[in-house]
Structure 1
Amino acid sequence: MGEANTFRIGGTIDVRRLGFGAMHLPTEPGEARKSAVEVVRRAVELGVTLIDTAYLYGWGANEELLVEALYPYRDGTLITTKVGVVPPDPPRDAALCGRPEVLRDQVERALRRLRVDRLDLLQLHRIDPEVPLADQVGTLGDLRADGKIGHIGLSEVTVAELDQARRIVDIAGVQNRYNILDREHEAVLDACTAAGIAFLPWRPVHPAASEPTGEIAAVATELGATAAQVALAWLLDRSPVMLPIPGTASIEHLEQNVAAASLRLSDDQRSRLDAIRPSP
């Protein structure tokens, strides 16, 4: 695994740049859950070291699935989770809540569920507009000072919000939606690249990227790869701080995703992919 395939989060945690997003893994008892456990274990066997989850994903059930699959954890495995969302009353699925006491409670619960003494990368799932940002990231900073958090990350933030947060605490990661057909957060990625902050794009493969025609399909044919692999390879090529976290409940798709880290785009292929007009 060469240097180009790894990144050091916060200057201290080495991970393989192609990670795994656990969000869509089924957690209900049964055969689907058993298969999900096997997918996670296979990911680690293939060298994946960064696994992304959140309290929101099943209200802790996703974290518990990862523990069932991986505990005791292999050395070098980083499970990053998120806090700051709570179950609301119907009909909504979730509500933002960045109150300090809620963040502290969710961090404590995550520590217990994941069976760790410290969350090496803890992300604020969303900024709660009803709570001052300084209170939200300041609370996470206090928890880091207490040794319960290693590094702090943000999710779905603007450049201005990232700048504001960085004036309060060190930010080691940002998780925004980004892919070859959705580059709304290009400026945030550029800010992360300039600052050496890990950028974890969620939804790293746009559904339309697998269309059988167009530039992505053409490059896929040239490389003998799938369109999804080309989309992931483009992300890895886009910035050295890029840490895509594609998710799947299929071992076959997992293996294809991991193999995308070995694809190398030519200058011509890169230019053609860069020129694709992102979806509105």
Structure 2
Amino acid sequence: MTMSTPTAALAGRTVSRVGYGAAQLERLSDRRDDAVALLRRAVELGVDHVDTAEFYGFGFANAVIREALRPEDGVLVATKVGAEPDPGGRVPLRIAQRPEQLRAGVEDNLRSLGVDRLAVVNLRRLDTGPGMRPEGDQVVDLDDQLAVLTALRDEGKIGAIGLSSVTPDVLRRALPAGIACVQNAYSLVSRDGEDMLRLCLDEGIAWVPFFPLGGAFPGLPKVTEEPAVHAVAASMGVTASQVGLAWLLHHAPNVLLIPGTADPAHLEANMAVGEITFDTAALAALDAVESRSSEVLLG
């Protein structure tokens, strides 16, 4: 059974506005069969775009995607470059922004996903939002990065280019290269990317919020801690998380969600948000929730 969800454009495709983010698959790293079954269930529920990265679970997520997805499923797989695994580090990632690292990241994703072409590759620039910031030789000019990504696109290894953790100025500079989507931290309680969302809408670019419920790092506000969210959820018989996700879909037509989970019941709840509608009073109450910054840095 597939769930009825609205659609939007991504990289020349029409996709369901509720997809799946593969970052949490690593929670099933000792239960690979369960991970494969979860992804198969996602496809059954109507997921037709999946977000991943080679560094999710140190390659585990990509391996599961390769095993679980079939060509006839027609699932668009978007991946990202700009960081690489660092298993021994305090944060298990290190920044990898140099052009040769971006090319190596694309090759790694091609190999682990078992494909000849990546439908979408997002460049995680780390200019804004929570997380790390580039330093030293990892501070790389955008033009140099776009040059290698467009070369890879010309070679047929990339279908479309996206950006992640970028500012409006960076997006404007990148527009001539052709940008399919932008992934920035954004949620009901952290709407500092509003100008960027509107720029994407004007340019026909998909807006793919990560941390769509906030709270992924200590210090970030959480959607599920907002009294107004709980009040709306109680009145509608849904969860606070579902309200937070559904608000994003209602906020702008170019929003694509990629919520992640390792739990089948949670997966079904996430997919159901496409069917949630708000009345005027509920939407006004949610829109009135205070927005706080998502600029939390890790070092």
TM-score (norm 1): 0.91
* Structure 1 position 27, deviation (Å): 6.2
Task: Provide structure 2 residue ranges, at least 5 long, that are not aligned to the other structure.
Answer: 127-133, 216-221, 294-299
Match of 2:191 among 142, 160, 183: 183
Larger RCO, structures 1/2 (Cα 8 Å, 6+ apart): 2
Counterpart check, 1:138 vs 2:157: no
Decide which of 248, 262, 279 is 2:275's aligned counterpart: 262
- Secondary structure (helix, strand or coil) at the match of 2:56 reads coil
Alignment partners' CA distance in 2, 1:90 and 1:210: 31
Given that 1:27 and 1:61 are in contact with CA atoms closer than 8 Å, whether structure 2 keeps it comes out as no
- The equivalent of 1:238 in structure 2 is 251
C-alpha deviation, 1:158, in angstroms: 0.5
- Alpha-carbon contact 2:20-2:259 (below 8 Å) kept: yes
CA-CA distance at 1:28 after TM superposition = 6.4
TM-score, structure 2 normalization: 0.85
Q: Cα gap change, 1:139/1:266 in structure 2, threshold over 3 Å: closer, same or farther?
A: same
CA, structure 1 residues 86+123, in 2 after alignment: closer, same or farther (shift >3 Å)?
Answer: same
Q: Once the two structures are superposed, what CA deviation does each residue of 1:169-211 show, in whole Å capped at 9, x if it has no partner?
A: 1111100011111112111111111111011111112353223
Output the CA distance in 2 between the equivalents of 1:91 and 1:110: 24
What value does the CA root-mean-square deviation take over the aligned residues? 2.1
CA distance 1:28–1:163, change in 2 (3 Å): same
One-letter code aligned to 1:120 = A
| C-alpha distance in structure 2 between counterparts of 1:2 and 1:90, whole Å | 41
In the other structure, the counterpart of 2:84 is 86
1:35 is aligned to 2:34: yes
Contact 1:27 1:62 in 2 (8 A): no
For residue 161 of structure 1, what is the aligned residue in structure 2?
170
Deviation by residue 1:237-257 (Cα, 9 ceiling, x = unmatched): 011110011111111111011
What does residue range 13-92 of structure 1 map to in structure 2 within 5 Å? 13-26=13-26, 29-31=29-31, 33-70=32-69, 72-88=70-86, 90-92=89-91
The letter for the 2-side match of 1:5 is P
* Structure 1 runs not aligned, ≥5 long: none
What secondary structure does 1:58 align onto?
Answer: helix
Amino acid at match of 1:278: S
Is residue 198 from structure 1 mapped to residue 198 from structure 2 by the alignment? Answer: no
Q: Does the 8 A contact of 1:178 with 1:203 survive in 2?
A: yes
What secondary structure, in the 3-state scheme, does the structure 1 residue paired with 2:179 have?
coil
What do residues 220-248 of structure 1 show as CA deviations (whole Å, max 9, x unaligned)?
12222111111111000011110011111
**Structure 1 Cα separation of the partners of residues 204 and 4 of structure 2:** 15
Q: Between the two proteins, what is the percent identity of the paired residues?
A: 41
**Distance change >3 Å, CA 179–CA 29, structure 1 → 2:** closer
Change over 3 Å in CA distance of 1:3–1:199 after alignment to 2: farther
Partner of 1:24, secondary structure, is helix
User: 2:67 and 2:5 mapped to 1: Cα distance?
Assistant: 31
Counterpart for residue 182 of structure 2 = 174
C-alpha distance in 1 between matches for 2:204 and 2:140: 28
| SS of 1:25 mapped into structure 2 | helix
Contact 2:3 2:272 in 1 (8 A): no
Judged with a 3 Å threshold, the aligned counterparts in structure 2 of structure 1 residues 3 and 170 are, in CA distance, closer, same or farther, namely farther
In 2, distance between residues paired with 1:27 and 1:226?
23
Once residues 28 and 265 of structure 2 are traced to their aligned partners in structure 1, the CA distance between those partners, rounded to angstroms, is 22
Distance 1:184 1:100, change over 3 A: same
Q: 1:210 is matched with which residue: 201, 204, 224?
A: 224
Count, aligned residues: 275
Alignment of 1:87-106 (within 5 A): 87-88=85-86, 90-106=89-105
Amino acid at match of 2:21: G
8 A contact 1:181–1:276 mirrored in 2: yes
Cα deviation 1:119-172 (Å, max 9, x = unaligned): 1111112255522110101111111111111110011000011111113x1111
Q: Which residue of 2 aligns with 1:5?
A: 6
Cα distance, 1:4 vs structure 2: 7.6
Distance 2:85 2:42 in 1: 30
The residue number in structure 1 matching 2:130 is none
Counterpart of 2:203, as a letter, is A
